[in-house]
Structures are given as structure tokens and as C-alpha cells.
């Protein structure tokens, strides 16, 4: 499919999924695509989009903004399906739609982030972050929301926040680690072939 920006995008056009306008009328995959591309305030410079996604609070604001413009969780999942990116991050979907950038899977993002995490965090922190990244890869970007921190700690530390505190430090330190590592998911690759976002 060729869009107004002159760049072509590949979509899976043979789908049984029906798409719907907010008013309840049917729409094509191309109309859904164009509606996302034209939604005001969503597409900014790439670096600002990456910044929005790397900070949990800002990411939540972006997700709310998308939902307010008719692109909630279900609609974004549809967009992932039509570009064959179900295993990709929301950032990859938006970057593909806006800039025709190649997508990475969440697993590829997590693998790249682990390289930087190894240099920035203690062994015990790395073990917890590996656990968080495994959930991110399996479930999606919502696993990085601040509200998920306590449930993830309880899951990892067998329903014992006391054990988590013993292992990882004071609550504010744990919060800093959880928020701080996320930027590594969205930073450009240091070297080697492949996409740089």
C-alpha cells in the first residue's frame, strides 16, 4: 500500500477481521491505517515518540491519547495484525505506520536492552529485570506500567514483598530500577546491522 508520504507499507490485506469507524460503519484496513496516520498529536518526531514510550508515565499518557482518538488496545491489536507485528512493541507499530521503519519483535528489543542492563544494574537487579523482560516479551508493553511493579514483585518473590526488599533494596530504589531500565528498550542499537530504533 502506498500512502500520501510517498512511502510504501506492507499490510496483510487478506484478513477476515472487520474494522469499524467509531460511528459503527464498516471500514477497510486502508481506512483504519489512514485514520491512525492522520490522528492529530500522535505522530511527532521519532525521538519524541521513543522518549514517550521509554518513560512509563509518558507512555501511559500516549496510550490514553491513542484511546481517546479511537485507537485503544483492541484497535492497536488490529493494526499489529494487519502489519504482521503481533509480537512487536507499540513503538514499532507507530514507527512503521509513520515512518516505514522496520519492526522489531519485543524479544529482539529485550535482547538488545539486556546488553545495556548488564552494565548498569547489580546481579540481583538484573535477575529481576530479566523476569520483567520475559513478561514484556510474552504479554506486551503494558507489563512495563508502574501499576504492574507490585504484582511482578509478588510473582517473582513468591508473594513476599519483604523478600523483594531484602533482595533489591528500598521501595524507591526498586521503583527507580523498574523505571530506569525501560529506556534501554528504545535506544538505538550500539553497533551491528539492522534497524537503529
Bridge partners of 88?
105
User: Cβ of 158: how many Cβ atoms within 10 Å?
Assistant: 8
Q: pTM of the prediction?
A: 0.76
DSSP assignment of 111-122: HHHHHHHHHHS-
pLDDT tens digits for 32-73?
A: 767 776 766 666 555 666 666 666 667 778 788 888 877 888
Residues of the chain below pLDDT 70: 1-24, 27-29, 33, 37, 39-57, 189-197
How far is 119 from 195, CA to CA, in rounded Å?
22
| pLDDT recorded at residue 21 | 63
Output the pLDDT for position 130.
Answer: 97
Contact by Cβ (8 Å): 157, 163: yes
The per-residue pLDDT for 92 is 87
User: 3-state DSSP call for residue 120?
Assistant: helix
The pLDDT score that the predictor gives to residue 54 is 66
Residues in CB range of 109: below 8 A, 6 or more apart: 89, 92, 185, 186
Distance CA 15, CA 116 (A): 39
C-alpha 132/C-alpha 110 separation (Å) is 10
Mean pLDDT for the chain? Answer: 80
pLDDT of residue 133: 98
Query: What is residue 16's predicted lDDT score, i.e. its pLDDT?
Result: 45
In angstroms, rounded to a whole number, what is the distance separating the alpha carbons of residues 161 and 103?
37
Q: Which residues contact 169 (CB under 8 A, 6 or more apart)?
A: none
Amino acid at each position: 500500500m502506498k500512502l500520501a508520504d510517498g512511502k510504501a507499507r506492507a499490510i496483510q490485506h487478506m484478513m477476515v477481521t472487520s474494522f469499524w469507524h467509531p460511528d459503527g460503519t464498516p471500514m477497510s484496513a486502508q481506512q483504519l491505517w489512514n485514520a491512525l496516520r492522520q490522528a492529530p498529536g500522535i505522530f511527532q518526531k521519532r525521538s519524541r515518540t521513543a522518549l514517550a514510550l521509554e518513560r512509563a508515565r509518558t507512555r501511559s499518557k500516549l496510550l490514553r491519547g491513542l484511546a481517546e482518538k479511537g485507537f485503544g488496545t483492541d484497535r492497536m491489536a488490529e493494526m499489529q495484525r494487519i502489519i504482521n507485528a503481533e509480537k512487536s512493541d507499540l513503538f514499532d507499530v507507530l514507527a512503521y505506520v509513520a515512518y516505514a521503519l522496520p519492526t522489531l519483535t519485543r524479544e529482539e528489543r529485550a535482547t538488545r536492552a539486556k546488553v545495556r542492563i548488564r552494565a548498569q544494574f547489580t546481579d540481583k537487579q538484573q535477575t529481576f529485570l530479566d523476569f520483567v523482560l520475559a513478561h514484556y516479551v510474552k504479554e506486551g508493553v503494558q507489563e512495563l506500567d508502574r501499576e504492574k511493579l507490585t504484582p511482578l514483585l509478588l510473582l517473582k518473590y513468591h508473594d513476599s514483598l519483604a523478600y523483594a526488599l531484602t533482595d533489591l533494596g528500598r521501595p524507591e530504589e526498586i521503583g527507580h530500577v523498574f523505571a530506569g531500565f525501560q529506556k534501554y528498550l528504545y535506544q538505538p542499537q550500539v553497533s551491528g546491522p539492522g534497524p537503529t530504533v
